[in-house]
Structure 1
Amino acid sequence: MIWSVALKPALLLAVAIQFSASAHAAQAVPGGGISAANLSRHVSTLASDAFEGRAPATPGEDRTIAYLQQQFAASGLEPAGDNGGWTQAVPLLRAQMDGPVNAALDIAGQHQVLVNGTDLVLQTLQPVSQVEIEQAPLVFVGYGIDAPERGWDDFKQVDLKGRIAVVLVNDPDFETAQPGSFDGRAVTYYGRWTYKYEEAARQGALGVLIVHETAPAAYGWATVKSSGLSPVFDIERADAATYHTLLRGWMQRDLAVSLFKRAGLDFETAKRQAQAADFKPVPLGDARLSVDFKVKRDRVVTRNVVGRLTGALKPGETVIYSAHWDAFGIGEPDAGGDRIRHGAIDNATGVATVLELARVFAAGPRPARTLLFLALTAEEKGLLGANYFAAHPLVPLDTTVAVLNIEMLSPDGLTHDIASWGKGKVSLETELQRVAQARGRRYSPDPNLEAGFFYRADHFAFARAGVPAITVGAGLDRVEGGVAAGRKLREAYFARCYHQPCDAWTAQWDLRGQVADVTLLYDLGAGLANSGQWPQWQEGSEFKAIRAESDKSRVASKP
């Protein structure tokens, strides 16, 4: 039941007392507490065959949106989307292969037919109906980075017009003995594949191919293939013809090693040379790439789902809980013939958390600040739903207190710790540590900074707009087996099931850990929603200056 904003004096007093107390100690969770049965029910439904892998702009999306709306309404939230509805329309352009992909490599008198999905994965987001490339030269441009503030330029003014840039994944520091210009093994934004595609286009390249290696990419080729052979999406851009290269994609490491060898180069030696700032682009012998495939393009509208619990004392200040609802839909069959990428851990667990948090908050006293519950679309296509919301916010971002994004909670039982993704340099990490300690647990910084998770989750879209934001995920220190057991389970998941059909719900899941983690997320959000606190970006954060530009609007909003 939703309480009216016009609360009775006694209820206002109760909220004010809670507001002033903040959440310095663990509080009882309303609504009977976090329910394992509810979390399991949501995940089993969203990850079921009936939802067809929850790909945007498919019947699976329609079923997902209907379910989320129904659950938000049943909890007692108010619709907070477009025109008083539950959804925010996110218009996108979709591109997918229309027929076979023909690709071939000519080098040193040899002609090699390449198989899309096996040797490489090819895509385009340019506004074309066909990609035709004939005998384009290949140039190795190291890590494909232009970062003047770090004294780094891999391109050295090389002319890439009509050429295919071959680049390495991750940052130059990933495999060096000592940290250099790129923060050691902790991935910067320059290490992300999205950046490399964008920078190659800015440099005028005809195309760009990223060399896949499992360790620096943080996932295997099966993930690249699964993602790369799916339709690709983009927001509508007036400059799409120049924002994207005509061709983009990945190549297998084995192909790269062979290519470099035939060009008279050693791949490992070339990679070491690319880890120094004085690296210069290297033509790959007389290598020429030819590609021909047709493209089917259409405009689709996918949707974010938005519910609100209006604050009792400060309705204009907002705390956001978010998670992405999309997965990868239907793809190639696995060994057992299953074609549905169910997306149970990634990220039905996050969506289930948002739904359960909506229920318990709506069952308790109305918080001082507004809570927005946000299920985002097209995260797997490049954080597109979050980017669209940040560009077209349904609440003012200047007075958005924080974004608490949830990803991939563990189904493997209790852990001593909870973690966040990446090193965010934001006070929310300290707040998460505080609420964990209040319940006898601890906060663990991201144990896998080299995976670049800070740049791979929806909170990043809000961070770029200056809003303090984190993504919260499961810890590794299992009560049964410790860090070694937790790491083993995590590595097995990423090796076998990440973006694959086996990311599926099972009744054998042990959800005690999820209940404990969601309880901490309640504590964190309740503390922010019932205080005058404004989380801050810390020194060294690239987002601190952006947030500072709106300081006056937050000062003015205080009572």
Structure 2
Amino acid sequence: MTRCFAASAMTLAAVPLAAASIDGFSPQRLSDIDKAISSDAFEGRGPATPAEPKVIDYIAQQFQAAGAQPGGDMVNGQRSWFQSVPLLRSEIAGTPSLSLNENGTVVPLRQGGDMAVLAPLNGAKQVDINNAPLVFVGYGVAAPERNWDDFKGQDVHGKILVLLINDPDFEGGEGDFGGKAMTYYGRWTYKFEEAARRGAAGVIIVHETAPASYGWGVVQNSNTIPQFDIVRDNPAAEHSSLESWIQRPLAVQLFQRSGLDFEQAKAAARRRDFQPIPLKATLSAHYAANTNVVTSHNVVGLLPGKTYPDETIIYSAHWDHLGIGTPDARGDRIYNGAIDNGTGIAQLIEQARVFAHGPRPDRSIVFLAVTGEEKGLLGSKYYAAHPLYPIGKTVGVLNVDVMNVWGKEKDFTIRGTAKLGLLDDLIAQGKLQGRYYTPDPHPETGGFYRSDHFSFAQQGVPAISFTPGLDLVNGGTAAGEAHTEDYNKNHYHQPSDEWSPNWDLSGMAEDSELLHQLGLHLANSREWPNWSPDSEFRAARDRSAVERGGPATSLPAPAPKKGERG
């Protein structure tokens, strides 16, 4: 059956399109949508929770009111507003029993305090690990194309891998992994995947704030709640029995009791000749897990193109957040996610409205609100593997994950340092606004791999995650950096990420207009953007060229008009 909109879903009073708007984008409407979707009524937007129907029905209602058509799964011969996303859900039952035996000293571990253990996603309903040996494997990287192997042929079956977050270049800023800019090898997702491929019993990632780019509170809040994965034929091939993090002081103690210096071991791990180091320690872990398959949903709006309806430009943003979790110092348990990513959803709904009220473009526009980003990009990963519209004829993806609420910016950026024609087009459109592009100021955070555009990039689709700049009109870069640092330290993935009437969304409206003009340019052109020749995603894009009727081409971006600022 087609889902019906829940009676409890909120609606917004009609706001004239031109009211308090910037080129059609209304800061007031953006604020109203964010206020609604990040309210306590939506319970932190946890996927596959009782709140999900309210959330997705609200988004679908807003798409419909904006003028979009349903663009999701076919139901009874018609498109619905939703794409079903089957997920494996796993939750630790009760309090896990965790302990280290450090060279004869037994150390009990507190879940969420000393250690953050994820609920198992390998299909197991019971985890019983008894004195599994620990081995330090540096950064846990096997990268033959970089002549790098942290394992050196050592058999790690049945062992617990202790490893570092980020990649070997982070500390020194230069080397085989692109310097400070994090590669995918630095992401925790890669490290879990590699451990499973090698048959390890488990993984312990040592948390340090700088290389992780977030504090322990983020690890605690994100990993001690129910976990999700897309449904897999062989989940044990992708996940070990134990996937976990520990705080740095515990790691220092662990190494000391093995007769090792933690900092010296880290330094050794930065060298190509690093050898795995057995620790004089074992780990025991016992806990049950409640697992089941649940269905979450992407919400999909569509504006069919008038000339090439089978060619699509996708605007995407994730609707989910962390739901209800550990209370903060105020006792607040609802993780509202007003900035992350209520702002992105507000922009997505406004894009649908502005496109629907303008001339219909030649190519189709898809508005994709995805689930499960906070659980590992699951909704976008599912769409990219089960596309509603052909991947090879997807012109590009314009993703937004966290927008600016502090006023207008002179600049803009994207997550990561990828080179692609889509970025050239964005820079050209930005110049028409009198703004300039700044490369990702913090590539060491691995932002490219932390948002939903990455799922499409892996399939070869040119994809960017637009990010606000830091050079604010009022206050400059110092103010932008201060706002960002405050948000990351005090609000990111915390209950205090709440809507505020004091925000200035004029910059968010201007950013939305920039993304609109980029999508409009792509939708009315015959351009097929591509990745740079040396990109790891170029081959997949080129393989799909046959779907587009010939070899992929990357046409030059439009130049600023004469007399306009460049």
The bucket for the TM-score relative to the shorter chain is: over 0.9
Q: Quick one: which of 511, 515, 519 aligns to 2:509?
A: 515
Q: What are the equivalent positions in structure 2 for 1:341-490 lying under 5 Å apart? A: 341-490=335-484
Query: In the alignment, which residue of structure 2 is the partner of 1:183?
Result: 178
Q: What are the equivalent positions in structure 2 for 1:290-329 lying under 5 Å apart? A: 290-329=284-323
3-state SS, counterpart of residue 279 of structure 2: strand
Q: Quick one: which of 198, 219, 225 aligns to 2:220?
A: 225
Distance 1:110 1:482, change over 3 A: same
Query: In the alignment, which residue of structure 1 is the partner of 2:267?
Result: 272
Q: Quick one: which of 145, 162, 166 aligns to 2:141?
A: 145
Q: Quick one: which of 483, 500, 511 aligns to 1:506?
A: 500
| Structure 2 CA distance for aligned equivalents of residues 436 and 270 of structure 1 | 46
| Structure 1 CA distance for aligned equivalents of residues 139 and 194 of structure 2 | 11
| Structure 1 CA distance for aligned equivalents of residues 228 and 391 of structure 2 | 25
Are the equivalent residues in 2 in contact too, given 1:421–1:470 (CA < 8 A)?
yes
3-state SS, counterpart of residue 94 of structure 2: coil
Alpha-carbon distance, 1:556 to partner: 5.5
Are the equivalent residues in 2 in contact too, given 1:31–1:364 (CA < 8 A)?
no
| Structure 1 CA distance for aligned equivalents of residues 429 and 294 of structure 2 | 41
Q: What are the equivalent positions in structure 2 for 1:1-150 lying under 5 Å apart? A: 33-83=24-74, 84-123=79-118, 124-150=120-146
1:242 corresponds to 2:237? yes
Query: In the alignment, which residue of structure 2 is the partner of 1:3?
Result: none
Letter in 1 for 2:48: A
Question: Deviation digits for residues 391-444 of structure 1, max 9, x if unmatched?
Answer: 100000111100000110011111111111001211111111111110111111
Query: In the alignment, which residue of structure 2 is the partner of 1:260?
Result: 255
Which structure 2 segments of 5+ residues have no match?
1-19, 553-566
| Structure with greater contact order relative to length (CA < 8 Å, sep ≥ 6) | 1
Are the equivalent residues in 2 in contact too, given 1:102–1:293 (CA < 8 A)?
yes
Are the equivalent residues in 2 in contact too, given 1:31–1:360 (CA < 8 A)?
no
Letter in 2 for 1:241: A
Query: In the alignment, which residue of structure 2 is the partner of 1:173?
Result: 169
| Structure 1 CA distance for aligned equivalents of residues 128 and 103 of structure 2 | 22
Letter in 2 for 1:443: Y
Are the equivalent residues in 2 in contact too, given 1:30–1:361 (CA < 8 A)?
no
Letter in 2 for 1:150: R
Question: Deviation digits for residues 499-558 of structure 1, max 9, x if unmatched?
Answer: 110111011111111011111011111111111111110122101111111223324699
3-state SS, counterpart of residue 131 of structure 1: strand
Alpha-carbon distance, 1:331 to partner: 0.6
Alpha-carbon distance, 1:242 to partner: 2.9
| Structure 2 CA distance for aligned equivalents of residues 105 and 283 of structure 1 | 15
Q: Quick one: which of 139, 143, 153 aligns to 1:157?
A: 153
Alpha-carbon distance, 1:241 to partner: 2.2
Are the equivalent residues in 2 in contact too, given 1:339–1:501 (CA < 8 A)?
yes
Distance 1:156 1:307, change over 3 A: same
| Structure 2 CA distance for aligned equivalents of residues 420 and 541 of structure 1 | 16
Alpha-carbon distance, 1:31 to partner: 10
| Structure 2 CA distance for aligned equivalents of residues 421 and 222 of structure 1 | 23
| Structure 1 CA distance for aligned equivalents of residues 282 and 375 of structure 2 | 30
Question: Deviation digits for residues 212-231 of structure 1, max 9, x if unmatched?
Answer: 00000000000000001111
Alpha-carbon distance, 1:244 to partner: 1.1
| Structure 1 CA distance for aligned equivalents of residues 276 and 434 of structure 2 | 53
Letter in 1 for 2:402: M
Alpha-carbon distance, 1:32 to partner: 6.2
Alpha-carbon distance, 1:81 to partner: 0.6
Query: In the alignment, which residue of structure 1 is the partner of 2:16?
Result: none
Letter in 2 for 1:51: F
4+ aligned runs moved over 3 Å, structure 1: 29-32, 555-558
Query: In the alignment, which residue of structure 1 is the partner of 2:486?
Result: 492
What root-mean-square deviation, in Å, do the aligned CA atoms of Structure 1 and Structure 2 show?
1.4
Structure-2-length-normalised TM-score: 0.92
Which structure 1 segments of 5+ residues have no match?
1-28
Letter in 2 for 1:264: G
| Structure 2 CA distance for aligned equivalents of residues 291 and 401 of structure 1 | 48
Are the equivalent residues in 2 in contact too, given 1:30–1:364 (CA < 8 A)?
no
Alpha-carbon distance, 1:162 to partner: 1.7
Question: Deviation digits for residues 302-328 of structure 1, max 9, x if unmatched?
Answer: 000011100011111110000000000
| Structure 2 CA distance for aligned equivalents of residues 398 and 58 of structure 1 | 34
| Structure 2 CA distance for aligned equivalents of residues 224 and 550 of structure 1 | 38
| Structure 2 CA distance for aligned equivalents of residues 357 and 437 of structure 1 | 21
3-state SS, counterpart of residue 170 of structure 1: coil
Are the equivalent residues in 1 in contact too, given 2:141–2:149 (CA < 8 A)?
yes
1:196 corresponds to 2:187? no
Distance 1:119 1:30, change over 3 A: closer
| Structure 1 CA distance for aligned equivalents of residues 287 and 49 of structure 2 | 24
Question: Deviation digits for residues 282-312 of structure 1, max 9, x if unmatched?
Answer: 0112x01111111010110000001110001
Alpha-carbon distance, 1:108 to partner: 2.3
Deviates more, 1:462-471 or 1:534-543: 534-543
3-state SS, counterpart of residue 51 of structure 2: helix
Structure-1-length-normalised TM-score: 0.93
Letter in 2 for 1:387: K
